[in-house]
Structure 1
Amino acid sequence: ISNTKIVFISFTTPYYKKPVIPLEIYSFINARRKSPELLREEILSHLVISKRKDVGEKNKYILFFDSLIPLASSHPHELSTFLTSLLISPSISLLAVYHVDIPLPCSTASYLPGSLVILTYLATAVLTVSSLAQLLSRKRARDRSLPDPLFGLEEGKEGVIVGQCDSIKEQGLVVNMELRKRSGRGIVEDFVLVPSSLKAIPSIIPLKEYPAYVSIPDFTNDENQDPSTDLDLPFNLNLSEKQKRDRDEVVLPYFDAQKEGGNEGGRILYQMGSEDHEDFDEEEDEI
Structure 2
Amino acid sequence: MAPTTLQHRRTHNLLLISKLLSQRENVSPFTLIVDNLEQSGKPVLREYIRRATVAKTEVIFVSFETLKKPKDVGVFVKAWESGVQQAQKEVGALIAKATQAQQRKLLIIDNLNTLASDPATAANLPALLSSFLSPTVSLVAVYHADIPISPSISSASPYTPQPLTVLKYLATTILTTHALNHILAAKAARERSVAEPVFGLAEEAEGVLLGLGGNSTSGLVLEMEYRRKSGRGVREWYFLPHPALQKAEAVGVRNRFSETVMLLEDHVLYRRPSEEKEQAGDDMDVTFDLGLTDRQRQAREGVVLPYFDAQKGGGEGGRILYDMGEEDDFDEEEDEI
Please, what TM-score do these two structures have when normalized by structure 1? 0.64
Gaps of at least 5 residues in structure 2 are 1-51, 249-258, 275-337
Q: Is residue 2:213 matched to residue 1:165? A: yes
Q: Cα offset for 1:216?
A: 5.2
Please say if residues 138 and 149 of structure 1, whose CA atoms lie closer than 8 Å, have aligned partners that are also in contact: yes
- Say if 1:34 and 1:195 are closer, same or farther in 2 by CA, change over 3 A: closer
Q: Is residue 2:173 matched to residue 1:125? A: yes
Q: Which residue of 2 aligns with 1:231?
A: none
Q: Within 1, Cα distance between the matches of 2:242 and 2:60?
A: 26
Of 51, 56, 67, which aligns to 2:111? 67
Q: Which residue of 2 aligns with 1:256?
A: none
Please say if residues 80 and 115 of structure 1, whose CA atoms lie closer than 8 Å, have aligned partners that are also in contact: no
Q: Secondary structure at the match of 1:150?
A: coil
Q: Which residue of 2 aligns with 1:185?
A: 232
Q: Which structure 2 residues correspond to residues 138-287 of structure 1 after superposition, within 5 A? A: 138-165=186-213, 171-195=218-242, 197=244, 200=247, 203-215=260-272
Q: Deviations over 1:218-275 (max 9, x none)?
A: xxxxxxxxxxxxxxxxxxxxxxxxxxxxxxxxxxxxxxxxxxxxxxxxxxxxxxxxxx
Q: Within 2, Cα distance between the matches of 1:198 and 1:216?
A: 26
Q: Which residue identity lines up with residue 74 of structure 2 in the other structure? A: Y
Q: Which residue of 2 aligns with 1:93?
A: 138
Q: Percent identity?
A: 35
Q: Cα offset for 1:177?
A: 1.2
Q: Which residue of 2 aligns with 1:4?
A: 57
Please say if residues 77 and 115 of structure 1, whose CA atoms lie closer than 8 Å, have aligned partners that are also in contact: no
- Say if 1:157 and 1:171 are closer, same or farther in 2 by CA, change over 3 A: farther
Q: Within 2, Cα distance between the matches of 1:172 and 1:39?
A: 32
Q: Secondary structure at the match of 2:87?
A: helix
Higher gyration radius (CA): 1
Q: Cα offset for 1:199?
A: 6.6
Q: Within 2, Cα distance between the matches of 1:189 and 1:113?
A: 26
Q: Cα offset for 1:208?
A: 1.5
Q: Within 1, Cα distance between the matches of 2:62 and 2:202?
A: 32
Of 100, 123, 131, which aligns to 1:77? 123
Please say if residues 165 and 171 of structure 1, whose CA atoms lie closer than 8 Å, have aligned partners that are also in contact: no
Q: Which has the higher contact order (CA 8 A, sep 6+)?
A: 2
Q: Which structure 2 residues correspond to residues 35-74 of structure 1 after superposition, within 5 A? A: 35-47=83-95, 48-51=97-100, 58-74=102-118
Q: Cα offset for 1:37?
A: 3.4
Q: Within 1, Cα distance between the matches of 2:127 and 2:244?
A: 40
Please say if residues 246 and 260 of structure 2, whose CA atoms lie closer than 8 Å, have aligned partners that are also in contact: no
Q: Within 2, Cα distance between the matches of 1:160 and 1:69?
A: 22
Q: Within 1, Cα distance between the matches of 2:220 and 2:211?
A: 14
Of 137, 144, 162, which aligns to 2:185? 137
RMSD (Å) for aligned C-alpha atoms: 2.6
Q: Within 2, Cα distance between the matches of 1:64 and 1:73?
A: 19
Relative to its length, the structure with more helix (as a share) is 2
Q: Within 1, Cα distance between the matches of 2:168 and 2:175?
A: 10
Q: Secondary structure at the match of 1:103?
A: coil
Q: Within 1, Cα distance between the matches of 2:158 and 2:262?
A: 41
Q: Is residue 2:57 matched to residue 1:13? A: no
Q: Secondary structure at the match of 1:190?
A: strand
Q: Which residue identity lines up with residue 207 of structure 1 in the other structure? A: L
Q: Which residue identity lines up with residue 84 of structure 1 in the other structure? A: S
Q: Cα offset for 1:165?
A: 2.3
Q: Cα offset for 1:3?
A: 4.1
Q: Which residue identity lines up with residue 139 of structure 1 in the other structure? A: K
Gaps of at least 5 residues in structure 1 are 52-56, 218-287
Q: Within 2, Cα distance between the matches of 1:203 and 1:148?
A: 29
Please say if residues 227 and 233 of structure 2, whose CA atoms lie closer than 8 Å, have aligned partners that are also in contact: yes
- Say if 1:165 and 1:109 are closer, same or farther in 2 by CA, change over 3 A: same
Q: Is residue 2:22 matched to residue 1:22? A: no
Q: Secondary structure at the match of 1:203?
A: coil
